Structure 1
Amino acid sequence: MIDFCNKLKPAVSKKTLFLTAGLMWSGVGILLGRYVYHWMLPLSAWQISLILLAGGVLGLLINRFGFTVMAKKNIHRITQIKNARVCIFAFQEWHSYPLVLVMVSLGVFLRLYSSLPNTLLAVVYLGIGGGLMLASLQYYQFLKEMPVEEKIHPGKGIEKQIE
């Protein structure tokens, strides 16, 4: 039964897992930025400047004290996994998925049903989206610096792979 379950597991290399994490975090950051862009279209240059300044500062803070810490923790956790192939959903810790679900639900609720003005939502969305984009760079940087390991295959010689 365990072999059957393992065959169904969507396993990928660690390199693919790091790339998936970076793309996922970047993708969500871009999505949030897209909402902000549309909310800012009817605004004056002065209002846009204030939103960009406030959202940028918030994004730097969220990145520094939140998402970068999470990304580094995820990178460390993934590097400690002994298997060469890992479930593609392991780029986040399993207990983080309910938090992600709550955050997505809150974002949808705020966007669709909240009485908060879009200018305030733009600052929050820009802060979270910017923080995610900046933190995703941790994954890309790690991929860039990922060591190349030599593997010896009996009868076949040495093969260099990135794991």
Structure 2
Amino acid sequence: MDSEKPREIRIGNAERTTALEALGEHYTIGRLDNAEYSERVDAVTAARTRSELSELFIDLPEPTPFGPGDGSAALTPAARAASAPARIPDRREKVVRTLNLFAGGGTVLVFLLLLALGVPMAWLVFILLPMAYGAIRIWAGPGDVDASGIDSAEQQRRRDVESRRRKELGY
């Protein structure tokens, strides 16, 4: 018997189900596209050992089927960040970021300018400007995009595809 060869641990349906759930999470938040998700799902259903499952998650961050010690930990944080989808801020986000930048410092600067110009009741700027910033934020509306950069409608569509696929496979 060869003692240097690592023993291959066989997996069962519970491990496949866990792997499919993890793949579904990655697909839902946009780390995998449709084709890659389908390929990996097929590979999960065909996998017989833990190492075959671990190979499918080597380039993905958590969640993974066997936890952090399954080989994906070998990726550096920079490599994990590079595998995440690039996120482009939308118009609403840019408006809110700008308002956050000027909310404190801008109010103080406007107050000092009004004070230097001798405007009576310049202190009202501390009430009126934050109210204006708040009104613009309300006008900009709630963001419908989460940290992954995929809007909620697309995430729901991906959840439906993922759920349907697992039902087809019996998991």
TM superposition score category, shorter chain reference: 0.3 to 0.5
Q: Higher strand fraction: Structure 1 or Structure 2? A: 1
Question: Normalising by the residue count of structure 1, what TM-score does the alignment of the two structures yield?
Answer: 0.37
Q: Higher helix fraction: Structure 1 or Structure 2? A: 1
Rg (Cα) greater in structure = 2
